[in-house]
Structure 1
């Protein structure tokens, strides 16, 4: 024992130079065994702690090594604002890396990061109206915070603005081709900023790779090399592709020149899309591996919680595809503003072709194992039609996704799944088409009358949705808490979902001859007819009855997710900014006559238009009795709210009271034909009636239509007197009054806000013409009795006077010079480029025009806040004021248009959209706008 102890002491002394070796007082073999076991346990704990500390050191070293300084030519990123982090302590934890900011131990990423990709879309509904947001895990320590706000944009000189020159996109005297090339710069500037955000996300994903690989070769690896390769497959390649693209494009936009070429960069980027394909193909395996490793390894679980939840792994299946979609939109805009003889044009065309083909291949690339579904006859079962329908089940409305295959109708709902899990459908029921029948009114079993929500309740819900959207914008503008924003978003989705569930009221019943009946509710008889005809067409084939086994049903249901053609719930307010807004105003339709009927019948027509995301019936002709050639000649005025299509259905009236629909006790009329036309703004917005014919099942219906708005007679005539205010330049009036906003504008707005802000239809309902003219004369004469007269005048006359003042300005408030640029800016597809352009154009306005516009803008927003009472939404106000503030003077209009006869209708909807864009934008500060601290400069 003594010799052993002495030997041990010598060996330990070598491990502790200059210090006494640990002493062990061991009196027996049993005591030695107990001490040995204790030391082993202690050593294992120390080894685990050492491994964790080693991993942290490697992780942080890799983070710092991956953050080399930017080349001097690129501007330095600013740190996040203090309000984002909350206080000095967390602000000091920020590390100034070019693309990723880190939180030191003890700090969690802000909730805005964790919810960055939260979306109440088709992927998240449970079809029962009980929507719940996907709860994301709390942020773990040492995880990167992705800076989603682009601070990099080409900082170009503003000398054109300072010298009073016209802005780049409307430089006076430039050719159209030159204007297009300047607009191209705006598109590239916004795209470059979003490209930076994408590189941020890729860098954040790459950061754990190096420390994970380093630990893989130790005795206690976090992941094996094979697991690391699977999880991070192709991320490095994607990052390098975009980093090279970014570094090559940035200097070109910084040193902008009209002759500069960059089409080859986009062409090269498109040619490397095969890397994305490999990434997408591997995604499912990568996600499964990451989940498996996080369950079996606590260390990896800590660093994978945020990534699997929606920032790194979960979102990256969609973010690369979204990136290609964004690039495709940008390519469209670039081609639009690139002359066909420019060297870049063929290169951009080729890049667009490659990108579109890639997107198509991704959409059509369906796993054969999931679609190898055959019918009982051995034929491939194909999806013919699918869509979202409301089912009335046990007295409750349920949103279902209905799939019509070649031999079966399947009703499903999307199951709730954990974050990162593959989305799946749950089959509620199916009916083989061989067993499916449409019961006649006499055969339908009686069911309680369908409860129809009153129209005013539906309208109230639409207004609530608009109000919540405004609140979300305010919260974002004020940098409110992300939890508050997410609560608002959830509430908005619940309201939209309620509207979708409760709007439909037209019954569509199907019956399984071997089982029960099912009842759907639709908003359009046209849609009901489409489903019925599609099913009946398939039933003409030789179909066999069958029963699906549980395995067959599982495979068929599993194929629905990949095969579906309708991906998003058709909620009313989910339209993207870059989608066509449709027509707003009034469509006048005259239904003349119809011919082609083989037998005499009692005939009538109905008209449907799409409104708030779904079709509704708007008008109905009288019944023309016992004829084969009805002559209705009836005119209807249909209000359009973002409408894009007009449908006409022709019915035979049934007077047999024995044929009652048991669902709603209405007599069932027979559809003789139906047809649909697109409402092309260029075709319908003319002064004259446009005659057209819709052919339907051998029947021809003749009709005429024209679209009108309140702005068709706008005309600007400068005043011959310069002593008044009407017809006088706004700069002259403000200089004479020594004010920033004309007195007439301030007084009219003050009076409206004092006693007219809750007036129903304020600014829409016209005042008495003689009252408006009297007020005009008083303001022109600068009469001392103006205030007394205003207090006694009808509020609609005061509102009309304000509109008249802006309408009679010799030049629109937003100026003739900038008009073409506003039209081009609002048409941009890329949101970042649009923001860049629209804010720059405001800065380009003369100060009196800009200050007056911002003053009016805030007033209109306050009016819209009272929408539940005054019924004037932001869009209604934009419809009233948009053309008034933007419509070019007559001389300018003729210069911009090809046909003088089209002056009254040209760009009316675009003018509305320009004002609506600013009304929906967070508050705009004159000081910040002029200082150019919030918006990118685009001057040369």
Structure 2
């Protein structure tokens, strides 16, 4: 198969139709994501709907709007029944997981139904609110014989807040989408291996409302429903906005909901782009290395083109801007294989007099158009005029891009095909030339890393105002392994701390890129700064190397460690290991810390907004919210911390208490219970203090430091007891039974047993005594990242 045929087959495999006619490729339309080989499943062709017909009067629009809302309500009802059908077997499967012959393990149940209950609750709330308002509106709507303001009664029906509230929770779909492939894999695997599950998976039933008929689904078909639904959200919002007059109270709310919905889909698609790979017929792995706009002068005249550089070819396309409601499109122009491609670049000495005159005319018109736009923005009239001026300005910008470039890059292939590209920036031309040259020479860089790269993100400073901040880390190299990871989001602080370790399997890595991002509720994330660090194997080793990066206004302190070794074949991305019900030593080792993140995050959140809460730690939070947060911590730390910030503070304290209750072994090991009970009887206070602190030092490091971390926090809580009514005695009563437990009778524990009636007294008194100590040792939250050298500061 020659290179041309291979390129054609490749484009067709990406659902890009290419037809050959008399040796010339026809200009076929294909989607932007297909060109990039990164098409996400969340932008199906169903988005390419025709525009809603323009309605001539507010009366017609409001009439159509009511029809659209009723259709949405009916659709929501069907979707809720599908979610209920999907959740129907969850309780039975979860109960079965605890038996000797489970249908699914507890982990598999969690994977299959991940985020589905939350999605059901979200849509149930939206459905109930919409149904109530539509019912109330229909009951008060004037009859057909009423004149006057009858046509405008639709202005009284306000639903925009319901849609905006739902879209603000659309992030729940993010977790479902990330988990979807693994959930489907579990369903398929268990369907083939277990006849009991096969029977269930192939006969899921859903009621069809009033006619009492039932629809039969497969498990996999029901799992797909949320994926289908999240794209339809954007569609229905667009249709509803098109039938809502601009002067309607809902118009601004629906605009914002549509923007958030589109932004969410765009973010999911960008995320999926980082993970998708394409394998060619000859086994080579194709990657998109660079793309951008250039001017193609190959056919005797200048044409603005979008150029894509892959690992084995250059693909030139013509950009076609989307019409209203459509997706941006491209048309295929030409391609050149990189094998044997020769490059030559030159700079035009000067433009002709006609060219300079034309550019001057374009720039003058652009200046005048910008002034018109500024004037229209200050006035109350001229929306249509401003739109026309803006469109003309875009056209002028394209003309300027087309006629201003003076730097020429010539491409010559062994097949005698040549193309000439023009660029306006010498810097940009050199970047294109270097990228193409690097791929054509196919030189292996011996300095690239192959093995495990660990990055410990410690802290940041230099923020201008308190913010919730997270750090994103990326590595380059081949696309075989995940190359991006993020810390959880910090509490609202001027000096955020994470002490979170991120680990990468790297193959061919040369650069580490670090981004510091501020996260604001209800607003887009803001990049505070970024930096790139050159990775050199000679300066990295198995010992931690500490650095401080200067990212614009922010300084981020991190440590790097590199262990070279042969890599295993890439496997499916493993889910985060659970933290609840797992020994604290295991969790600490997994996270590379001494105090688990769940403890630190909950404590930070309580100290941020719960210190003045009456009965803090004594009053229980909502069971469902605590369960939701527990599930989040078990599966996605960053998502859990994001949810933590908006949860009721009593739910946050409930999660912390639940974590300690569910530890297989208490924070203070059971074998120390009797020793602590005897120490309480020591009359001399100093001797008792020395003995109890000495016993504490014999605890494993994660237990000791977590216990000390909690004690210092509870002492700070008690300092506010005049407001929160939580004295040291009250706090000891709450936490004593969770942190210290007596030995189980009959398990071979040495020494005399404590009377059952005295167990709670010992638990409370031990914790109270530690809380009353004024000289408790400080807790370390993370493992020391020792280095031989002093800190390095990199300014970017």
For the criterion TM > 0.5, the same-fold answer is no
Q: TM-score, normalised by structure 1?
A: 0.25
Higher relative contact order (CA 8 A, sep 6+): 1
Q: TM-score, normalised by structure 2?
A: 0.29
